[in-house]
């Protein structure tokens, strides 16, 4: 099979905001305890953070990490996680049915994030709590005033404010599973009023309103909440998890076509409200939960609840296979190709819970298959995304979609580094693809690196002892060939 990508140096979509390579740590399962934090682990640092995990997080180069949830935040009291650790309450954690020791909270997480070279994207509880707690939390984290919560932070040993810039106004407030769920009208009013008080405390913060959590339901929710919040918020959120439920890989690989439509749909609502309000401000998108999921949901309550109300339960520990990595690669390309409007995104999550990094208690850390497309995206996908004209064969999936392109790609021009990076997935399950490139507007270009992620077995996994899915360097020849069902990164030196 043959395919062709044409780009022109001058035809850019937008400059990539590095925050699209963000991630997410929620107090669920073993993400925090036995994930980023395990004081008894041989690699633990002076604060109890696992050094082996930190090393991999740094490799992933995540500029922003959403915290503390997720569903967790909708029942969380942020004050439980500050000050003297020995006095912190142990709570029944209602979102996930666990016991929360509160040994990690805002005080510790801001330090972990600093050590990981990341910013914190902080979420406030608009489920069981509201405006008052949200503004107090901003004061605790960000204020320099001689005021109660800022002084409480100082008393807890932090003279300087944490300076969290991005704040989420709740989490998935439309979802039936969300404790404190709201109607669009209720949420829109609450989010607008909460945004106002939070920005009174610190007018430099950026706020994310909850979009609805399912592409099939966007519409009334976006319209109503944006109608209420437009003047006060800066982003609207999107969340997506794809699963190969039908065990149809060709269909699974095509799911990012929906992600593309979802982004375009939410952009359309943002811009409709902009027009309605005659506003000069543009609301952008924060795709602050995205990933694939492959877990088997426990069907009976006994299995689901067997370790209820215990700490660090093994929850959502999905084991990713090779085709999951391909879909993650395609999802990341979709985000890059919307760099004009998607300014933040978080792969959900980072450690142990639907995560690229896995740990065993007291033992090893390892990389899941999905680690690699994210690693190469985050480390090399910097600069401006170029508009692509793609010529490729297409396929149909009966009962789903027609004309699905075999080739998925994003092209990023890093003028400063004199480099062009092409990410590409060949969605064909049985044919290699010869790729032709027409890179207009560059005086010259030369391919110097071709990284490929491939396994003959779409179901191959990595575990703590064996890495079956790992990138390889493809020798540079006369032709560029993308193997059947492979993920690729091509790096070129370019002269403008
Ligand atoms: O990431 C796991 C959960 O998925 C989050 O807590 C929630 O926001 C989403 O439904």
pLDDT tens digits for range 42-75: 999 999 999 999 999 999 999 999 999 999 999 9
Please choose, from the candidates 108, 60, 111, 97, the residue with its C-alpha nearest in 3D space to the C-alpha of residue 351.
Answer: 60
pLDDT at 298 over 70: no
pLDDT at 303 over 90: no
Question: Residue 214 — pLDDT band, cuts 50, 70, 90?
Answer: confident
Residue-level pLDDT at 300? 63
Name the residue with the closest Cα to ligand 1, atom 2. 70
**Distance of alpha carbon 64 from alpha carbon 209, whole angstroms:** 17
**Distance of alpha carbon 130 from alpha carbon 250, whole angstroms:** 44
pLDDT at 297 over 70: no
Q: Mean of the pLDDT values across residues 371-400? A: 98
Mutational test site, ligand 1, from 348, 353, 356, max ligand atoms within 8 Å of CB: 348
Please choose, from the candidates 381, 389, 388, 392, the residue with its C-alpha nearest in 3D space to the C-alpha of residue 420.
Answer: 381
Q: Mean of the pLDDT values across residues 401-429? A: 98
**Distance of alpha carbon 143 from alpha carbon 78, whole angstroms:** 16
Mutational test site, ligand 1, from 30, 124, 172, max ligand atoms within 8 Å of CB: 172
pLDDT at 284 over 80: yes
pTM exceeds 0.95: yes
Distance 349 CA to ligand 1 centre (A): 9
Distance 376 CA to ligand 1 centre (A): 25
Residue-level pLDDT at 345? 98
The per-residue pLDDT for range 1-48, each reduced to its tens digit, is: 999 999 999 999 999 999 999 999 999 999 999 999 999 999 999 999
Q: Which residue has the higher pLDDT, 294 or 437?
A: 437
Name the residue with the closest Cα to ligand 1, atom 8. 70
Residue-level pLDDT at 301? 67
Residues with active-site annotation: 172, 289
**Distance of alpha carbon 352 from alpha carbon 368, whole angstroms:** 10
Residue-level pLDDT at 216? 78
Name the residue with the closest Cα to ligand 1, atom 4. 70
**Distance of alpha carbon 117 from alpha carbon 351, whole angstroms:** 16
Whether the CB-CB separation of 266 and 239 falls below 8 Å is answered with no
Mutational test site, ligand 1, from 30, 71, 243, 353, max ligand atoms within 8 Å of CB: 71
Q: How many CB atoms lie within 10 A of CB 411?
A: 28
Q: Which residue's entry shows tokens 């978080």?
A: 346
**Distance of alpha carbon 341 from alpha carbon 355, whole angstroms:** 25
The per-residue pLDDT for range 222-247, each reduced to its tens digit, is: 999 999 999 999 999 999 999 999 99
Residue-level pLDDT at 482? 98
Ligand 1 atom closest to 291 (CA): 1
Ligand 1 atom closest to 354 (CA): 1
* 2-8 and 389-391 strand pairing: antiparallel
Tokens of 425: 């997935």
pLDDT at 299 over 80: no
**Distance of alpha carbon 363 from alpha carbon 403, whole angstroms:** 47
Distance 289 CA to ligand 1 centre (A): 7
Whether the CB-CB separation of 467 and 367 falls below 8 Å is answered with yes
Whether the CB-CB separation of 129 and 79 falls below 8 Å is answered with no
Question: Residue 304 — pLDDT band, cuts 50, 70, 90?
Answer: confident
Question: Residue 119 — pLDDT band, cuts 50, 70, 90?
Answer: very high
Distance 177 CA to ligand 1 centre (A): 10
Residue-level pLDDT at 306? 83
Name the residue with the closest Cα to ligand 1, atom 5. 70
How far does the chain reach from its first CA to its final CA, in angstroms?
31
Ligand 1 atom closest to 26 (CA): 6
For helices 184-201 and 131-142, give the axis angle rounded to 10 degrees: 30
Name the residue with the closest Cα to ligand 1, atom 1. 348
Q: Mean of the pLDDT values across residues 125-133? A: 98
Residue-level pLDDT at 385? 98
Distance 94 CA to ligand 1 centre (A): 14
Ligand 1 atom closest to 72 (CA): 6
CB under 8 A, 24+ apart: contacts of 477-482: 479/434, 480/434, 480/435, 480/437, 480/447, 480/450, 481/432, 481/433, 481/434, 481/435, 482/3, 482/407, 482/424, 482/425, 482/426, 482/432, 482/433, 482/435
Name the residue with the closest Cα to ligand 1, atom 7. 70
pLDDT at 472 over 70: yes
Name the residue with the closest Cα to ligand 1, atom 9. 70
Name the residue with the closest Cα to ligand 1, atom 3. 70
Residue-level pLDDT at 72? 98
pLDDT at 211 over 90: yes
Q: Mean of the pLDDT values across residues 457-484? A: 97
271 CB burial (10 A radius; 0-12, 13-18, 19+): middle
Distance 250 CA to ligand 1 centre (A): 26
Distance 18 CA to ligand 1 centre (A): 23
Q: Which domains does the chain have, with CATH numbers?
A: 2-9+385-495 (2.60.40.1180), 17-380 (3.20.20.80)
Mutational test site, ligand 1, from 22, 24, 26, max ligand atoms within 8 Å of CB: 26
Distance 337 CA to ligand 1 centre (A): 25
**Which residues line ligand 1 at a C-beta cut-off of 6 Å?**
26, 69-71, 171-172, 289, 348-349
């Amino acid at each position: 099979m043959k395919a062709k990508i044409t780009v022109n140096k001058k035809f850019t979509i937008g400059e990539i905001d590095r925050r699209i390579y963000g991630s997410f740590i929620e107090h669920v399962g073993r993400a925090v305890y036995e994930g980023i934090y395990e004081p008894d682990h041989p690699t633990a640092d002076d604060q109890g953070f696992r050094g082996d995990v930190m090393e991999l997080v740094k490799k992933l180069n995540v500029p922003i990490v959403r915290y503390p949830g997720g569903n967790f935040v909708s029942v969380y009291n942020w004050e439980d996680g500050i000050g003297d650790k020995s006095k912190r309450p142990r709570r029944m954690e209602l979102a996930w049915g666990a016991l929360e020791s509160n040994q990690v909270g805002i005080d510790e997480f801001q330090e972990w994030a600093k050590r990981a070279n990341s910013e914190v994207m902080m979420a406030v509880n608009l489920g069981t709590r509201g405006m008052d707690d949200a503004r107090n939390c901003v004061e605790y984290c960000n204020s320099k005033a001689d005021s109660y919560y800022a002084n409480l932070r100082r008393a807890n040993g932090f003279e300087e404010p944490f300076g969290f810039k991005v704040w989420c106004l709740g989490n998935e407030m439309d979802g039936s599973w969300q404790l404190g769920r709201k109607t669009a009208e209720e949420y829109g009013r609450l989010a607008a009023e909460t945004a106002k008080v939070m920005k009174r405390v610190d007018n430099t913060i950026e706020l994310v309103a909850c979009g609805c959590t399912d592409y099939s339901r966007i519409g009334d929710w976006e319209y109503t909440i944006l109608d209420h919040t437009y003047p006060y918020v800066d982003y609207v959120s999107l969340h997506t998890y794809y699963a190969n439920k039908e065990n149809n890989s060709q269909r699974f690989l095509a799911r990012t076509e929906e992600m593309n439509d979802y982004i375009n749909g939410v952009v359309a609502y943002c811009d409709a409200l902009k027009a309605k309000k005659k506003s000069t401000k543009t609301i952008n998108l924060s795709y602050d939960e995205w990933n694939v999921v492959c877990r088997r949901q426990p069907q009976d309550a006994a299995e689901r609840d067997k370790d209820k109300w215990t700490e660090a339960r093994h929850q959502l520990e999905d084991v990713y296979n090779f085709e999951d990595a391909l879909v993650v690669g395609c999802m990341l390309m979709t985000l890059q190709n919307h760099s004009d409007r998607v300014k933040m995104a978080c792969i959900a999550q980072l450690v142990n819970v639907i995560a690229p990094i896995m740990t065993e208690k007291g033992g090893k850390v390892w990389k899941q298959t999905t680690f690699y497309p994210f690693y190469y995206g985050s480390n090399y996908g910097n600069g401006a995304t170029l508009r692509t004209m793609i010529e490729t064969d297409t396929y149909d999936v009966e009962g789903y979609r027609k004309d699905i392109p075999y080739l998925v790609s994003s092209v990023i021009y890093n003028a400063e580094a004199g480099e062009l990076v092409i990410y590409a997935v060949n969605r064909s399950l049985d044919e290699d693809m010869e790729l032709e490139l027409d890179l207009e507007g560059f005086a010259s270009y030369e391919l110097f690196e071709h990284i490929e992620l491939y396994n003959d077995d779409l179901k191959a996994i990595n575990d703590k002892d064996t890495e079956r899915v790992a990138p390889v360097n493809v020798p540079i020849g006369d032709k560029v060939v993308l193997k059947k069902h492979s993920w690729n990164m091509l790096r070129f030196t370019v002269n403008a």
